[in-house]
Structure 1
């Protein structure tokens, strides 16, 4: 099996290892599985063109290597592929990578990808803006902005950048006033954060049991200042966030968010931030993307 891998040259994994070391390690990891990997390390602005060429080569499996933001930016190209594509998660959070079972070292990810299977996944959209996992405002959009700044200050330590960004976001978040409509349910809220997820997340590590469930889940962190945000963060780490009194969640096939002040606000899509005026109408593209996931391990007989 041959894989054509288009990698973001600015991805955290590439920067930490160095491009030559990364390329040698990746090719060796795939060769160990009896697979050939052809690597194209390109700057972010060239990813779409390189990925399109990889998709046009039907003799190889196209793979995109990068973080959640890199995958987000390439979604229009990935969806047009019309066949299974691979993801190698190389960012800080790697929400989609965890959902696909592509975790651990580069070698472990190569094992999972070479032995993986195609799954269908839903894609969210706001107008023509696509996202694969998460969209949020309030704390979440501030966190994305702070993380980008911290990455420039600490380019070779993703953990440090993430920690600095999280601390600053907890301290600096200000509540937003929103009208939220999910199906026939309308709510007026003052919230420290609102997060819209494509399908439902579970557990301490926020993984989705299904990528094709056909629903959005909306999470509202009630405005309560620093204490509320700190408690919510602790509940996420402990895995008890579903029981948190500071967090309200509800599901629906369509979502509309409207800022009461009607100003343009920062919105994050898979960690990428932009300013948008409301109302924001969220819709689903069911099963729009076919992507390779790790095969589930068989349960041993008792």
Structure 2
């Protein structure tokens, strides 16, 4: 067995370990599973091209290693790929990696990947922007921005960066007024956050039972104040968010969000943040690509 592993050289795991030490450990992990792995550390701007070359290479399984933002960045390549691509989660949150059953130490992830099977995944599209797991306004976009700033201050400690970002986001979130359309339903909310997820997330660790369920879930968080917002954040961390009185959820296959103040606002896409103006129209691309997962294929 052979693998060609394209690694985001700026991923948190790489920065913490150091490039040479990380490459050696990753190659050894694949060797322990009977695979010869070619490790390619690539800066973020070169990831799409490097992964496209890996996909075209015969006789080797292509793998992309990075966080949720890295996977978001290479979604066009994944969707064009004629065969499944492996993913190794190397970020801070790793929402998609956990959904694919890839967690734990690096050696555990590699072992799970080598024994994995292909699964199909839906993709969300917001106007002309793609995302694989989460898109949000308010608290979630602020959290993503603060996490990026904190990573520059603490490049070798993902835990410190995440903690600082969480505290600042709780302190500085401000309510936004949003016009929401979900199918035929229309509502106007004042909320601390609006989060749109590709398929239904549940449980204490925000995992999806299905990756090809063909539905969006819209979560509206209205905590109303610093103390309530802190409690709501704790409920998310502890897994009690479904029963939180501050959270309301809706389902649909088409969603439109519009800030009522008509101003450009920050929107997060799998942890990456952009400023957008006007209506955000969410549509689903069902079973848009295949990845190798350490979980049973979707029923």
Q: Normalised by the shorter chain, which TM-score bucket? A: over 0.9
Q: Which residue of 2 aligns with 1:2?
A: 2
What SS class does the counterpart of residue 213 from structure 1 fall into?
coil
Q: Which residue of 1 aligns with 2:230?
A: 230
What SS class does the counterpart of residue 122 from structure 1 fall into?
strand
- Tell me the number of residue pairs that the alignment of Structure 1 and Structure 2 aligns: 296
Q: Contact 1:266/1:275 (CA < 8 Å) preserved in 2? A: yes
TM-score if structure 2 supplies the norm length?
0.98
Shift in Å, 1:6: 0.3
Query: How far apart in 1 are the matches of 2:295 and 2:134?
Result: 24
Q: Which residue of 1 aligns with 2:280?
A: 280
Q: Contact 1:13/1:91 (CA < 8 Å) preserved in 2? A: yes
Q: Which residue of 1 aligns with 2:177?
A: 177
Q: Which residue of 2 aligns with 1:38?
A: 38
Query: How far apart in 2 are the matches of 1:215 and 1:228?
Result: 29
Shift in Å, 1:223: 4.7
Query: How far apart in 2 are the matches of 1:227 and 1:252?
Result: 31
**Which stretches of structure 1, 4 residues or longer, exceed 3 Å deviation after superposition?**
none
Structure 1 residues 75-154: aligned runs within 5 Å: 75-154=75-154
Query: How far apart in 2 are the matches of 1:12 and 1:223?
Result: 31
Q: Contact 2:138/2:174 (CA < 8 Å) preserved in 1? A: yes
Query: How far apart in 2 are the matches of 1:165 and 1:4?
Result: 34
Query: How far apart in 2 are the matches of 1:167 and 1:72?
Result: 26
Q: Which residue of 2 aligns with 1:193?
A: 193
Shift in Å, 1:237: 2.3
Q: Which residue of 1 aligns with 2:71?
A: 71
Q: Are 1:246 and 2:246 counterparts? A: yes
Q: Contact 2:136/2:267 (CA < 8 Å) preserved in 1? A: yes
Q: Contact 2:12/2:91 (CA < 8 Å) preserved in 1? A: yes
Deviations 1:74-122 (A, max 9, x none): 1011111121001000000000000000000110001000000000000
What SS class does the counterpart of residue 156 from structure 1 fall into?
coil
Q: Contact 1:175/1:223 (CA < 8 Å) preserved in 2? A: no
Query: How far apart in 1 are the matches of 2:218 and 2:295?
Result: 29
TM-score if structure 1 supplies the norm length?
0.97
Shift in Å, 1:231: 1.6
Q: Contact 2:223/2:232 (CA < 8 Å) preserved in 1? A: no
Shift in Å, 1:238: 2.4
Query: How far apart in 1 are the matches of 2:159 and 2:295?
Result: 28
What SS class does the counterpart of residue 121 from structure 2 fall into?
strand
Deviations 1:143-192 (A, max 9, x none): 00000000000000000000000000000000110000111111100000
What root-mean-square deviation, in Å, do the aligned CA atoms of Structure 1 and Structure 2 show?
0.8
Shift in Å, 1:240: 1.5
Q: Contact 1:200/1:217 (CA < 8 Å) preserved in 2? A: yes
Q: Contact 1:115/1:295 (CA < 8 Å) preserved in 2? A: no
Q: Contact 2:115/2:294 (CA < 8 Å) preserved in 1? A: yes
Shift in Å, 1:295: 3.6
Query: How far apart in 2 are the matches of 1:194 and 1:127?
Result: 17
Shift in Å, 1:208: 0.4
Query: How far apart in 2 are the matches of 1:270 and 1:226?
Result: 25
Shift in Å, 1:232: 1.1
Unaligned runs of 5+ residues in structure 1 are 297-302
